[in-house]
Amino acid sequence: MVAALVIYLSGDRWLPADDVGGADTAEGAAPREKLGRAEWSRVIALIVLIPVMAISLLTNQEIFNAYLVWGDQHFQLTFGGRTLPTSWLITLDAALSFSMLVAVAAFWTLWGKRSREPDEVGKMIIGSIFIIAGGLCLFVAALSGQGGAKIGLFWPVMFHLLNSIGFANILPVSLALFTKVAQRAISATVVGLYYLAFFGANATVGWIGGLYSTLPTPTFWLLHVASAAFGLIAFAAFKYLLMPRLLPEAVATPDPSAM
């Protein structure tokens, strides 16, 4: 990416005058738009969402960490004398994530034709409910595996399904919210800030994953359910307390392209 940026900037003299780099030197170019109080309020509102999203993403990001260790040790992965690789759970999650993105987008399109579609934060609240349900599937699976019994794949598969539906209602929708609300002059910076949620989630998952070997497994997964519940409560507070004050236009005009 750095090399590409260097190449791009080195070719500045061949770019049109209204492109990046030429806009400032073009004759009669409009001055760069400054952010007013309302615009800064939008940025602050979006920054508040970043740690909330990071916490709400913990269950999803744990799939690539302690979840695989747990599955390798306790899932019933032997069928017909053949043991399936634990990594196939990642393949299952990827397939369901893509499928649910398509299914959820189709669902909201059909819903919007018959009734009013929820706004972006409303969909994120719905997504949190599904993530909570998915985390509870892991909790039930952990309870069924106590005493050394192997865990059947029903509950893990249900987790991946429900979590993927929640994923589809939070991640692309939240990105749409950030791009919609951000001032055009700083939209790229705001999108960059958005991805700090993934950094925060993965950093936290690395710490929480270390608790897997010390906590009872049901308690370990209840922590993840609690993180999704926190996201649900925080998204609801954001929608009903902060949005009417800081983002009144987002409340008044839901973005139909969010899903």
Instruction: Kindly report the pTM of this predicted structure.
Output: 0.83
Specify the number of domains making up the chain. Answer: 1
Q: How far apart are CA 119 and CA 113, in angstroms?
A: 15
Mean pLDDT of all residues in 120-128: 96
Task: Tell me if 20 is assigned to some domain.
Answer: no
The answer as to whether 234 is a domain residue is yes
Residue 31 lies in a domain: no
Compute the distance between CA of residue 147 and CA of residue 54 in angstroms, rounded to an integer. Answer: 34
Residue 172: alpha-carbon gap to chain centroid: 7
pLDDT, tens digit, for every residue of 67-92?
Answer: 999 999 999 998 888 888 998 999 99
- Residue 25 within any structural domain of the chain: no
pLDDT of residue 196: 94
| Three state DSSP letters for 122-144 | HHHHHHHHHHHHHHHHHHHHHHH
Q: Which residues contact 92 (CB under 8 A, 6 or more apart)?
A: 157, 160
Domain membership flag for residue 205: yes
Residues pairing with 78 in the sheet: 83
Has residue 19 been placed in a domain? no
Range of the domain at 181: 37-258
Distance CA 121, CA 43 (A): 16
What is the rounded CA–CA span in Å between residue 219 and residue 119? 34
Cβ-based burial of 215 (10 A; exposed 0-12, middle 13-18, buried ≥19):
middle
pLDDT interval class at 23 (50, 70, 90): very low
d(CA 254, CA 176): 11
- Averaged over 133-147, what is the pLDDT? 95
CATH of the domain at 249: 1.20.1250.20
pLDDT tens-digit readout, 206-240: 999 999 999 999 999 999 999 999 999 999 999 99
**pLDDT greater than 70 at residue 145:** yes
| Any domain includes 28 | no
With a cut of 90, say whether residue 104 has pLDDT above it.
yes
